[in-house]
Structure 1
């Protein structure tokens, strides 16, 4: 087998430029990125308890409006909730709109992989809930040392405490530069294929 050079880079989303991060004032809402793997009853309970304890709003973030249909999941969570008047379903329309809505939040309960990565890149506190090893591995690669919850083992009391005490993870600038190299290498590869 010939020697093959292999390079490893952090997720490309971490290369999001500072110019792309909207200058939107945080409303201190909590963003919950929904996913079909999570228990909708637990998500509704977490959302309602957050509202009851803080008096702040909840945004149900729908990253996938296609085949995986986060909107359907968000509608189910919303349907169970008691505090509907303080809950908004945010459907993905374009990246700029989603970034503005994420920036409104003081913390993200990140079930969707890229909601977690975007929150970290944008300097927003995050409580990650992993439905696959992809999230755990990516967070390990960037040195994230906070608690990562398993979607199949959620303790609502513990998750709610984590949300209420969450602080933004300080992303090392070298990670951002490395993610930018990911984009450059990918572009180089595509050009070689054409």
Structure 2
């Protein structure tokens, strides 16, 4: 059985955990070790042959990366916003360079799948990653904007977001239901000043939906990033009459239970990036509330960029307009669902090739 070291965002964020779910279920003949994952991740993916690195292993990896990587056949970095220019970007680049170099120096393959690039604001950031990417075996971005930044590299490809290929049993939609994916802006420096306006608009929209006879479910995709905090702020402002028509679902690693609740909604009002993707997978009407250009870039790719609102423009959101258009706003070109599997095209070849060599 082949061994693959995986780097992912392991903070009980539904979108990133869906990447891992899809990866692990696709390759049940591979032994995965997750870099920097807390212990509970073995419980999230019960029945799948995965390992976590412990604290001592991570220290040894920082000190002796080349020795540590000898036990693996390859390295996979999988995740969405893995290349953002934030306060720690220089440290992040050093970490990624150390890992990738430890594999490429041994002529082992390195894959980067499912990501977008940015936001970034200077050429040094771009140039450093351009140098790193040249040494990788295969890089597949999830939207055209990021692909165009590096398309001159022969190892760079494009495919729709990995979650488009999620294969889930369909269940009937619950009548007159609307799901809301909400995010906390207090820890987002560029959006914090819009926090009150965002809360006010979401509050008004939820009340308007309830007044029109709908039942509401508020979905927290990542508690550690404050989703439950903003949900509680909304709930605390509601009167009992409205609270009786509302429900809260918090993701705590319970992937299947969360998805079952989410896909039962008729309409999704989505702030989280993957709430928009899941709404398409589950054939739901939706309206996107955009906190990052990565969402708009994907909406452009799937030709659903007619209806949306950036959070920075949230004051101009018309509640009645959202209710009017969200019901029937959905994807028509389902080729994206199949094309999403192209993310794994070269990883498929790599794993199958190594299996043949073992036999």
| TM-score, normalised via structure 2 length | 0.48
Report whether the alignment pairs 1:99 with 2:259.
yes
Equivalent of 1:71, from 219, 228, 232? 228
Stretch moving more, 168-177 or 105-114: 168-177
Please report how far the alpha carbon of residue 65 of structure 1 lies from its aligned counterpart in structure 2 after TM superposition: 1.7
1:109–1:126: 8 Å Cα contact kept in structure 2? yes
Equivalent of 1:142, from 269, 283, 302? 302
* Deviation per residue, 1:92-138 (Å, 9 max, x gap): 14222222212222111110000011001111001001000010011
- How many Å separate the matches in 1 of 2:244 and 2:318? 25
Report whether the alignment pairs 1:24 with 2:182.
no
Stretch moving more, 149-158 or 36-45: 149-158
- How many Å separate the matches in 2 of 1:160 and 1:186? 46
SS at structure 2 position matched to 1:90:
strand
Distance verdict in 2 for CA 1:157–1:142, change over 3 Å: closer
SS at structure 1 position matched to 2:289:
strand
The residue aligned with 2:46 is none
How much is the aligned-residue C-alpha RMSD, in angstroms? 2.5
The residue aligned with 1:14 is 164
The residue aligned with 1:161 is 321
2:270–2:286: 8 Å Cα contact kept in structure 1? yes
- How many Å separate the matches in 2 of 1:148 and 1:190? 40
Distance verdict in 2 for CA 1:97–1:156, change over 3 Å: farther
* Deviation per residue, 1:19-54 (Å, 9 max, x gap): x143133232111101013522221111011111x1
Equivalent of 1:62, from 216, 220, 223? 220
Gaps of 5+ in 1: none
Distance verdict in 2 for CA 1:150–1:157, change over 3 Å: closer
- How many Å separate the matches in 2 of 1:63 and 1:10? 21
Please report how far the alpha carbon of residue 190 of structure 1 lies from its aligned counterpart in structure 2 after TM superposition: 8.6
* Deviation per residue, 1:29-82 (Å, 9 max, x gap): 111101013522221111011111x1211111101122x021111111111123
Stretch moving more, 81-90 or 183-192: 183-192
Report whether the alignment pairs 1:183 with 2:335.
no
2:296–2:305: 8 Å Cα contact kept in structure 1? no
**Structure having the higher Rg:** 2
Give every structure 1 segment of 4 or more consecutive aligned residues whose post-TM-superposition deviation is greater than 6 Å: 189-192
Distance verdict in 2 for CA 1:164–1:128, change over 3 Å: same
- How many Å separate the matches in 1 of 2:261 and 2:234? 19
